[in-house]
Structure 1
């Protein structure tokens, strides 16, 4: 009896899923394909190698000013944290019971710092900083962590060349990349 009910339930479920699958191929006539120009406006990510970093440059000195105006309310005057995450310190703590994950202790690639700042910061106005200001803030944060000198000026080439202290601290994923198209 129980076996018959289970078979009936499975058959009913399979028939229902078949109906869903048939209709999944339908188009509803809503929207349109994005144009290449529209895609380019959102395709702004920067990979770990920095190959797609934009033109521009920024100094630690300029970064200090921009950070003070745009970042310190959340991240503290010197990146020590507050409402926002701590950005400095933490070196040598990753193996401890309470690791401090900061740009200087945890972040593996400097170009992705630029990417994150440009796309997500300041939190109340993401993508509002110029490329020059993002290079400058990146330089300032890296300087606070002792990764670049206090008189550094970063651009696409020099930022991509920065070797972060934790670059080799991650385990590689041996699985191949999978692309949808």
Structure 2
């Protein structure tokens, strides 16, 4: 299934239960992308996904399901916190949680940044300097690095980049590490 098919399946499920799911946990390597989180914004209150390769997760299953059995009314953040609590520390650090209700304003910061880059000195941009990595036939780039390099090389308005970064930080939900 591609992300649109997944989103549509979750939307149908939501229709059957009469509400939006609390947390969509995309437990696949490299699926903590802007595309994934944005696509799921209207079908889940929160999305949890990894931006990098995962080792062998799933240590949390038994403890989490036992906990849910006694506390079935967890919200998305509480559920993400329990996954973090019950998972090994070296695993959870690779996940990102987003508050999907905040995605509706993405265009207000992303479009001005793209416009600033496009109206700057595009001839100065060397895309070979953008670090990328591949996984399962797909190519990825960190969105913050991508836009920083494009902004810096083109001489675009740094304030537009800073607005974008502030927006991205506001989307992410900080879950304190229970082991610290």
- Shorter-chain TM-score above 0.5: no
Higher Rg: 1
- Report the TM-score when normalising by structure 2: 0.22
